[in-house]
Amino acid sequence: DGGITQSPKYLFRKEGQNVTLSCEQNLNHDAMYWYRQDPGQGLRLIYYSQIVNDFQKGDIAEGYSVSREKKESFPLTVTSAQKNPTAFYLCASLKGGQGGNEQFFGPGTRLTVL
Amino acid sequence: AQTVTQSQPEMSVQEAETVTLSCTYDTSENNYYLFWYKQPPSRQMILVIRQEAYKQQNATENRFSVNFQKAAKSFSLKISDSQLGDTAMYFCAFMTSDSGNTPLVFGKGTRLSVIA
């Protein structure tokens, strides 16, 4: 089945550690996105990529980094510079162009800093 | 910059009744898309309904319909014959249509509880 997978489902991090959240899609979508969800805040954009080897910062990019070496993969690294990383992280993808404007979401990763 | 406002943090409705969730947005764009997403307790985001701004006809999907008022920049969601499975967070979202790949801008959500 085509879809978006995120791993792990739950992730615990000690302060000062970098961690990487995985996002993979087999939908042949061009664009991919990372959102952060906090209680009462809705979803806020961290980074997005419209094409391989290219990405743009979103509204809350500080303390995060991404790469887009393959069309299928868009990993997010939460660095020690992110002061309040505990949140729910959602990855999404979109075909774009004539392929449609619906973003498909993965199941999410819950990150907790200990 | 575009903004999306959902003024109702929480709502409740009796099973089988009708409920309307409000959403307003601000943009200077003329062409764009509007969406309602549902996030049940599983936290999986599910597209409920979408509306293209250039279409005057309101979108409908089974029990879900929208009231799109472009001049007023309003995009409300009506859920008819509410079911227990409709209990979820509902997010209104906006996307510009320049390339179709731009990110979504979300409202802060409305938590809907359907009561038996």
Give pLDDT, residue B96.
Answer: 86
- Separation CA A28–CA A52 (nearest Å): 12
B107 touches chain A (CB under 8 A): yes
Q: What is the pLDDT of residue B108?
A: 95
Q: What is the pLDDT at residue A1?
A: 62
pLDDT of residue A99: 57
Q: Quick one: pLDDT at residue A97?
A: 66
Residue B21 and residue B2 in contact, taking contact as beta carbons nearer than 8 Å: no
pLDDT, one tens digit per residue, over A26-39 is 999 999 999 999 98
Q: Distance between CA A58 and CA A47 in Å, rounded?
A: 5
**B46 CA to chain A: closest CA distance, Å?**
8
Rounded CA separation A61/B17 (Å): 42
* Confidence (pLDDT) at A101: 78
Instruction: Report percent pLDDT > 70 for chain A.
Output: 95
Contacts of A45 in chain B (CB under 8 A): 103-105
pLDDT at A65 over 70: yes
How high is the mean pLDDT of chain B? 94
Q: Residue by residue, what is the 3-state secondary structure of A22-47? A: EEEECCCCCEEEEEEEECCCEEEEEE
Please state, in angstroms and rounded to a whole number, the distance separating the CA atoms of residues B16 and B82.
Answer: 5
Interface probe with B: pick from A9, A103, A109, A110, most Cβ of B within 10 Å: A103
**CA atoms of A11 and B21, how far apart (whole Å):** 34
Do residue A41 and residue B47 have CB atoms under 8 angstroms apart? Answer: no
The overall average pLDDT reported for chain A is 92
Q: What is the pLDDT of residues A46-64, one digit of tens each?
A: 999 999 999 999 999 999 9
User: Picking from A82-96, B50-64, B90-104, which range would have the lowest pLDDT averaged per residue?
Assistant: B90-104
Q: Which residues of A touch B43 (CB under 8 A)?
A: 88, 107-108
d(CA A77, CA A114): 17
Q: What is the pLDDT of residue A98?
A: 60
Which of B29, B39, B89, B101 to probe the A interface (max A CBs under 10 A)?
B101
By the 8 A CB rule, do B84 and B28 touch? no
Distance from CA of A14 to the nearest CA of B (A): 25
Residue A8 pLDDT: 94
pLDDT digits (tens, 9 = 90+) for B60-111: 999 999 999 999 999 999 999 999 999 999 999 999 876 657 889 999 999 9
Q: Find the farthest-apart pair of alpha carbons in chain A and give their distance in angstroms, rounded.
A: 45
pLDDT at A15: 87
Q: What chain A residue is nearest to B5 in terms of C-alpha separation?
A: A42
Decide if A101 and B100 are in contact by the 8 Å CB cutoff: yes
* Range scoring the smallest mean pLDDT among A89-103, B13-27, B47-61: A89-103
For chains A and B, what is the number of CB pairs under 8 angstroms?
55
